[in-house]
């Protein structure tokens, strides 16, 4: 598949899964993956170019010194036969071609050294990636290592920051720590090799209202930082180095998408009015938040506070855990933003492979490993600092604490004890601590089974449908190969949700449903039918969910939900939803807003999402 030529290289087309709306044309910025640092493009004043080249040379010298030391250590510990790898690294650092190309790039483009290393390095890596010899191709990872060392060395000095290009983030998978310190004002789109509807990439992109295509499989290794790229998320298309005509077509799609998205979603004031179904049942709509860039949406779309704050996004790339004071500042800002509606702050929901940078080994099965509450309880120092920060910030406004991935009451008890101890410590130190309610994420099957007991231990439930689907159906939420098995309407999932809502109701505690289902109109209707009265979603989804829920009646939705729960499998329950929503509320759910029958490449969540964007 190809079109015109750009810089002598043909444009290349990819098709993936669009998980948000819109289109964009920009420049590739590769993030995450093997590269631990985010690198920004900054344009230098002509007078600063020489100094920048000196800074680059200093970084090369520093990297060389480090490598010599590492080589010596490796020789002592492992023997000379293992130290040769570092000889190869040293040789690369002495390679005049690499050094000259970086210098030339800094000079000709007036770019900062980090950016030049990244662009030149990416070029070199793509040459390795295409070598038809396994041994030589694998040497690419040595090059990557040397480049990373250089970037870290450059970061040791004061570097010019700020993304000045319109970037399209390209990742294997976009992890929270890879985006923590990015300036999203210049991010035009996001694409990733891995990912599904509920993957981090999709959640971040929808949260920011930017186009995103996931499931591109091998795109990352073909793209180089600085390449031109066109993305159409509505169609799931990505073009690398597009021809002029292709770029123009995508630009047109982009301005079309912007003009429709910018249309007012509701009459002024209506956005902040409570949401009621036609039969008068109030549904509280809250926002999920990952990054400060999303705060504006919380206000604009009239969210009733923040139903889920994913604090793991406070982790900067390679920077480890944020300090207690840094966290305090972030939580206090959130508390002020949300006022009386409050915010639910979740303890770090991270896996052992992504956290703390101190001695964790890669796990074979991170989804079932040392993650979320397990990691918090293992690293009490980190958890205590986070609890203190939340308690202190709660003195500035209403904040609650959410415990992620609870599977047993003992975890709740231990976590609560730690929170209580930190409160006492703060009081002893004369530091004010606010009232904080403690809730549990219900997202694994064992928690569903013991929901009655858990409900007696906590002040509220947060029902995470993303993980609940993943763990109930044993389907990796980030793996596009198994996306067809990710069936949110599976009767087992719906029965679980119903049981959890029942347990919360029985104990008289609130339950907020906060997975991606909540932000998808068709699913939101089913959730209301199951008894949900609080939904939390990416703020940009609130208008379409409000529109859908205001047009249905809760009694009718509960009949549909009951029918679904009685189905034998996901095909049947999806068919029930498809048919009944159309029959009852055809104006809200016209046929094109619902997915085609199974076998035609549907994605229930996605279709429901895009087709009802504009009420």
Question: What is the separation, in whole angstroms, between the first and last Cα of the chain?
Answer: 37
Residue number with CB closer to Mg ion (122 or 467): 467
Crossing angle for the helix pair 521-530 and 542-550, to the nearest 10 degrees: 50
Residue number with CB closer to ligand PEP (40 or 313): 313
Q: How far is the CB of 558 from ligand PEP (least distance, A)?
A: 22
- Partner whose footprint covers residue 144, from ligand PEP, Mg ion, none (CB < 5 to 8 Å by kind): none
Residue number with CB closer to ligand PEP (465 or 472): 465
Q: Which residue is nearest to ligand PEP (CB)?
A: 464
Alpha helices in 262-398 (DSSP H): 295-300, 324-338, 373-378, 380-393
Of the candidate residues 467, 480, 534, 574, the single one contacting Mg ion (CB under 5 A): 467
Q: How far is the CB of 293 from Mg ion (least distance, A)?
A: 21
- Out of 338, 376, 514, 564, which one is annotated catalytic? 514
Q: How far is the CB of 204 from ligand PEP (least distance, A)?
A: 11
Of the candidate residues 177, 277, 311, 466, the single one contacting ligand PEP (CB under 6 A): 466
Within 13 A of 604's CA, how many CA atoms are on the CB side?
Answer: 25
Residues paired with residue 276 on neighbouring β-strands, in sequence order:
282
- The token duo for 520 is 């998808």
Region from 311-319, 447-455, 467-475, 554-562 binding Mg ion, contact rule CB under 5 A = 467-475
Residue number with CB closer to ligand PEP (59 or 338): 338
Region from 31-39, 169-177, 278-286, 464-472 binding ligand PEP, contact rule CB under 6 A = 464-472
Q: In whole angstroms, what separates CA 254 from the centre of its chain?
A: 23
Q: Indicate whether 467 belongs to the interface with ligand PEP (CB under 6 A).
A: yes
C-alpha–C-alpha distance, residues 445 and 486, integer Å: 16
C-alpha–C-alpha distance, residues 270 and 302, integer Å: 9
Whole-number Cα distances in Å, 4 to 100, 216, 249, 277: 31, 21, 13, 52
Q: Is 98 helix (H, G, I), strand (E, B) or coil?
A: helix
Residue number with CB closer to ligand PEP (229 or 442): 442
Q: How far is the CB of 340 from ligand PEP (least distance, A)?
A: 23
Quote the strand ranges of 514-559, DSSP E.
534-538
Of the candidate residues 179, 383, 438, 514, the single one contacting ligand PEP (CB under 6 A): 514
Residues paired with residue 216 on neighbouring β-strands, in sequence order:
none
- Out of 89, 200, 490, 547, which one is annotated catalytic? 200
Q: How far is the CB of 509 from ligand PEP (least distance, A)?
A: 18
Residue number with CB closer to ligand PEP (201 or 225): 201
- Partner whose footprint covers residue 574, from ligand PEP, Mg ion, none (CB < 5 to 8 Å by kind): none
Q: Indicate whether 480 belongs to the interface with Mg ion (CB under 5 A).
A: no
Q: How far is the CB of 444 from Mg ion (least distance, A)?
A: 9
Q: Indicate whether 400 belongs to the interface with ligand PEP (CB under 6 A).
A: no
Q: Indicate whether 237 belongs to the interface with Mg ion (CB under 5 A).
A: no
DSSP state of 217: S
C-alpha–C-alpha distance, residues 476 and 55, integer Å: 44
Dihedral sign for Cα atoms in the order 548, 511, 282, 270: negative
Among all chains, which residue has been given the structure tokens 């996605």? 606
- Partner whose footprint covers residue 514, from ligand PEP, Mg ion, none (CB < 5 to 8 Å by kind): ligand PEP
Count of chain residues binding ligand PEP (CB under 6 A)? 10
Q: How far is the CB of 514 from ligand PEP (least distance, A)?
A: 4
- Partner whose footprint covers residue 35, from Mg ion, ligand PEP, none (CB < 5 to 8 Å by kind): none
| Interface pattern 231-250 for ligand PEP (x via CB under 6 A) | --------------------
Q: For residue 183, which of 200, 170, 165, 195 has the smallest C-alpha distance?
A: 165
Region from 48-56, 88-96, 461-469, 521-529 binding ligand PEP, contact rule CB under 6 A = 461-469
Crossing angle for the helix pair 521-530 and 604-611, to the nearest 10 degrees: 110
Residue number with CB closer to ligand PEP (35 or 467): 467
Rounded to whole angstroms, the maximal C-alpha distance in the chain is: 78
Q: How far is the CB of 565 from Mg ion (least distance, A)?
A: 22
Region from 26-34, 208-216, 442-450, 454-462 binding Mg ion, contact rule CB under 5 A = 442-450
Catalytic residue flag (residue 200):
yes
Other C-beta atoms lying within 10 Å of the C-beta of residue 380 = 12
- The token duo for 215 is 């499931």
Q: For residue 579, which of 468, 489, 514 has the smallest C-alpha distance?
A: 489
Run of H or E including 260: helix 244-261
- The token duo for 302 is 């009239």
Q: For residue 559, which of 592, 585, 590, 591 has the smallest C-alpha distance?
A: 585
| Interface pattern 430-449 for ligand PEP (x via CB under 6 A) | -------------x------
Q: How far is the CB of 585 from Mg ion (least distance, A)?
A: 30
- The token duo for 346 is 């979740």
Residue number with CB closer to ligand PEP (243 or 462): 462
C-alpha–C-alpha distance, residues 421 and 428, integer Å: 10
User: Are 223 and 192 spatial neighbours (Cβ–Cβ below 8 Å)?
Assistant: no
Whole-number Cα distances in Å, 31 to 12, 39, 180: 20, 8, 11
Residues forming contacts to ligand PEP in the complex (CB under 6 A) are 308, 310, 349, 443, 464-467, 514-515
Residues forming contacts to Mg ion in the complex (CB under 5 A) are 443, 464, 467
Q: Which residues are catalytic?
A: 200, 514
């Amino acid at each position: 598949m190809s079109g015109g030529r750009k810089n002598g290289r043909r444009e290349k087309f990819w098709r993936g899964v669009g998980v948000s709306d819109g289109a964009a044309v920009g420049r590739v910025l590769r993030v995450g993956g093997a590269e631990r640092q985010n690198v920004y493009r900054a344009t230098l004043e002509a007078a600063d170019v020489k100094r920048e080249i000196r800074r680059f040379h200093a970084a090369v010298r520093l990297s060389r010194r480090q490598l010599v030391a590492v080589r010596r250590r490796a020789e002592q510990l492992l023997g000379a036969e293992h130290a040769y790898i570092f000889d190869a690294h040293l040789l690369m650092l002495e390679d005049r071609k690499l050094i000259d190309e970086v210098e030339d790039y800094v000079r000709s483009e007036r770019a900062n050294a980090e950016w030049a290393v990244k662009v030149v390095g990416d070029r070199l890596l793509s040459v390795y990636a295409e070598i038809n010899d396994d041994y030589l191709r694998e040497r690419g990872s040595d090059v990557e290592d040397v480049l990373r060392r250089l970037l870290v060395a450059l970061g040791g000095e004061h570097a010019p920051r700020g993304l000045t290009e319109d970037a399209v983030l390209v990742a294997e998978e976009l992890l929270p720590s890879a985006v923590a310190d990015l300036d999203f004002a210049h991010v035009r789109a996001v694409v990733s090799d891995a990912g599904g509807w509920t993957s981090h990439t999709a959640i971040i992109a929808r949260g920011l209202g930017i186009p995103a295509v996931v499931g591109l499989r091998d795109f990352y290794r073909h793209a180089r930082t600085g390449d031109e790229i066109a993305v159409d998320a509505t169609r799931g298309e990505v073009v690398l180095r597009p021809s002029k005509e292709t770029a123009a077509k995508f630009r047109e799609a982009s301005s079309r998408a912007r003009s429709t998205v910018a249309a007012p979603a509701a009459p002024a004031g209506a956005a902040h009015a409570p949401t009621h179904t036609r039969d008068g049942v109030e549904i509280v709509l809250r926002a999920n938040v990952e990054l400060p860039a999303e705060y504006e949406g919380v206000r604009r779309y009239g969210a009733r506070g923040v139903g889920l704050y994913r604090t793991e996004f406070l982790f900067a790339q390679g920077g480890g855990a944020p300090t207690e004071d840094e966290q305090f500042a972030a939580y206090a800002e959130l508390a002020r933003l949300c006022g009386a509606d409050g915010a639910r702050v979740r303890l770090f929901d991270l896996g052992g492979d992504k956290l703390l940078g101190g001695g964790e080994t890669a796990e074979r099965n991170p989804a079932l490993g040392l993650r979320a509450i397990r990691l918090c309880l293992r690293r009490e120092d980190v958890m205590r600092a986070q609890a203190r920060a939340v308690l202190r910030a709660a003195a500035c406004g209403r904040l609650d604490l959410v415990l992620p991935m609870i599977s047993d009451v003992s975890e709740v008890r231990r976590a609560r004890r730690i929170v209580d101890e930190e409160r006492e410590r703060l009081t002893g130190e004369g530091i004010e601590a606010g009232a904080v309610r403690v809730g549990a994420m219900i997202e694994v099957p064992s928690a569903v089974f013991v929901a009655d007991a858990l409900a007696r231990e906590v002040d509220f439930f947060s029902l995470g449908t993303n993980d609940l689907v993943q763990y109930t159906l044993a389907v990796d939420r980030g793996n596009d190969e198994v996306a067809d098995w990710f069936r949110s309407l599976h009767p087992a999932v719906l029965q679980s949700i119903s049981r959890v809502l029942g347990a919360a109701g029985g104990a008289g505690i609130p339950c907020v449903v906060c997975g991606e289902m909540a932000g998808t109109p068709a699913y939101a209707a089913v959730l209301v039918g199951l008894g949900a009265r609080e939904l939390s979603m990416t703020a940009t989804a609130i208008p379409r969910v409000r529109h859908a829920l205001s047009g249905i009646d809760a009694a009718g939705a509960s009949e549909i939900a009951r029918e679904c729960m009685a189905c034998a499998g996901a095909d049947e329950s999806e068919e029930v939803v498809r048919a009944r929503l159309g029959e009852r509320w055809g104006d809200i759910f016209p046929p094109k807003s619902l997915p085609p029958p199974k076998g035609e490449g549907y994605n229930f969540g996605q279709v429901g999402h895009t087709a009802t964007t504009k009420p």
